[in-house]
Amino acid sequence: MVVVWRITERCNLSCKFCGYDRELLRPRTDADPHVVSSLGAVLADYQRSTGDAVLVSWLGGEPLLWAPLTELTHTFCRDYQLRVSTTTNGTSLASTDVRTHLLEYYSELTVSIDALGSLHDSLRGWQGAFASLERSVTALAEEKRSCHRGPILRANVLLMRETIADFEPLCLRLANWGIEEITFNQLGGNDRPEFYPAHRLLPEQVETLAGQLPGLRKHLMNIGIRLRGGDAYARRIRATSRGESLPIQDCHPGERFLFINESGCVAPCSFTALPFGIPAEKITSVSDLRHLPLEFARSRHQRPSALCEDCHSTQVFEKFD
C-alpha cells in the first residue's frame, strides 16, 4: 500500500509551472498533525493485521519546510513501524542535520531536478540551485555509503519543451551524484494553465524520447541506475502530446494506492479528491480502511467523473514500473 500525503501547500521556491510557487498570492493550507498521527495509527494497524507493508510518502509544496514533519516521521517510523519517503526541492539538503535525519528514518528520497545547470536555476527561481543540489546529494550519497543505511536516492525530472533534449546528459550527470533511480513526469497543465501551452511537450519530441528510452535505460542499468517508467507510461505521455484521451474503466481505486491532501481528504488519486474524497476523520479502523475500495468504486459508478475519461494519474500508467 502506497499512501501519498500532501501535507503542505507552502514552498520557498518560485517555479512558474507549479501551483505552489511562493510568489502566487493564494491561501496556503497545512495538514492537521493530529489527523496525520491518527490515520497513521490506523495504517499501522492495517500493516500489522494484513502483513501488507505500507509506505507513506510526504508531498508538498515543500514538505521538509513543515515544522511538525520531523516528529511525525519519528512516530511513523519508531512507533508505527511504517516506512516513509518524501519528494523535495532539495533546498534543505545542505543541512547536515537534515541529511542525518533522512539517513536514519527515510526509505526513499526523491529530489526534483528539471534541467542541467543554469536552466534548472531559472526554472526554480533559485540562483545556484543546480550546484547546491550537486553538492548536497553527492554528500548524502557518500554519507549513505559510509553508514551503510539510508533511503533509495531518486531524482524526478520534469520534462518540458526546453528541457527534454538534455534528458540523457542530465541522467548521466545524476548518476555521478550517487542517484540510484530516475523517474520523470511530463509538464502538466492543471497547475499553471498560463504557462503550459508554450512549454508543453511536442509530439515529435515525445517520439524522439520514446526511441531513446530503451537504450538509455540499458546504459543506466549497466552503471547501476534504474530508469523507471514502462510502456504504458510512454503511451500516456504520447497521448497527451497529441491531445488524445486515455480513459480508464477500472483503476481498482484504493486497493494499492491512496492520495491524501492537506485538508485530510482521502481519495483514489490526486485528481479525484473533489468527486470521490472521504474525510480522514471517518477512517478510524482497519475495517474502514479496507472498505475504501468499495466506497470509491460505488462513487465512480454512481457519479462518473470526466477526469476518469482521460486519466492522468501516473501510478495508473506505471510511472514506477
pLDDT (tens digit per residue) in 21-42: 999 999 999 999 999 999 999 9
Give me the domains of the chain, ranges plus CATH numbers: 2-310 (3.20.20.70)
pLDDT of residue 38: 98
Query: What is the number of residues in the chain?
Result: 321
Please answer whether residues 249 and 297 qualify as being in contact, where contact means their C-beta atoms are separated by less than 8 angstroms: no
* Distance (Å) of CA 184 to CA 113, 135, 227: 10, 22, 9
Q: Is the pLDDT of residue 251 over 90?
A: yes
DSSP secondary structure letter of residue 8: B
pLDDT tens digits for range 272-307: 999 999 999 999 999 999 999 999 999 998 998 999
Judging by DSSP bridges, how do beta strands 181-186 and 152-159 pair with one another?
parallel
- The model's pLDDT over 140-162, given as tens digits with 9 standing for 90+, comes to 999 999 999 999 999 999 999 99
184 touches 157 (CB < 8 A): yes
Q: What are phi and psi of 235, to 5 degrees?
A: -65, -40
pLDDT in tens, 33-73: 999 999 999 999 999 999 999 999 999 999 999 999 999 99
- Residue 151 and residue 85 in contact, taking contact as beta carbons nearer than 8 Å: yes
In 207-308, beta strands by DSSP E = 226-227, 257-260, 265-267, 278-279
Distances (CA, A) of 272 to 192, 285, 308: 18, 23, 9
Mean pLDDT confidence for 81-108: 98
Name residue 70's amino acid.
T
How many other CB atoms are found less than 10 A from the CB of residue 193?
9
The CA distance from 181 to 174, in Å, is 9
Lowest-confidence region among 111-125, 127-141, 307-321: 307-321
User: Distance (Å, rounded) from C-alpha 263 to C-alpha 283?
Assistant: 14
Residues near 227 by beta carbon (within 8 Å), at least 6 away in sequence: 171, 181, 182, 213, 216, 217, 220, 221
Alpha carbon distances (Å) from 283 to 42, 81, 228, 291:
8, 19, 33, 9
Q: What DSSP state is assigned to residue 194?
A: T
